[in-house]
């Protein structure tokens, strides 16, 4: 018995597989939400707990729980200084080293007068 099978001229693109897979996953989640919304309500806090625990094991402290993780999803870039330190972006003077002939108040007064008209972000910290 002879059979003839027609094959497409080009193989299917990966995007056609991924769009079908994404649709299948979406439909499966939709069914789960309708069938048992309580399960997803319990799964979310569990996922947040696991994520914060794994972060803590790797030295990452996430304060704020799920809200922080949700905001991190929108982060496109993280900028660190050369030591790898993250800051709040609010520079301030933390200490003053003075020569023996001057006082801390004099140094701060001079620095503030010099930085008063500057628009540089570090000048605002003085």
Contact in structure between 70 and 47 (CB atoms under 8 Å): no
Q: Measure Cα distances from 33 to 30, 47, 48, 63, 111 in Å.
A: 5, 17, 19, 29, 61
- C-alpha 48/C-alpha 73 separation (Å) is 13
Contact in structure between 51 and 43 (CB atoms under 8 Å): no
Active site residue 30: no
First-to-last alpha carbon distance for the chain, in angstroms, is 90
Of the listed 81, 82, 83, 101, which one is catalytic?
Answer: 81
- C-alpha 118/C-alpha 98 separation (Å) is 23
The residues carrying an active-site annotation are 81
């Amino acid at each position: 018995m002879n059979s003839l099978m027609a094959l497409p001229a080009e193989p299917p693109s990966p995007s056609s597989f991924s769009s079908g897979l994404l649709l299948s996953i979406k439909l499966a989640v939709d069914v789960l939400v309708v069938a048992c919304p309580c399960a997803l309500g319990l799964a979310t806090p569990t996922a947040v707990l696991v994520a914060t625990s794994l972060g803590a094991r790797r030295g990452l402290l996430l304060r704020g729980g799920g809200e922080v993780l949700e905001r991190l999803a929108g982060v496109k870039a993280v900028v660190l200084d050369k030591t790898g330190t993250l800051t709040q972006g609010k520079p301030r003077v933390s200490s003053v080293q003075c020569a023996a002939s001057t006082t801390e108040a004099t140094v701060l007064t001079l620095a503030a007068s010099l930085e008063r008209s500057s628009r540089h972000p570090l000048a605002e910290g003085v």
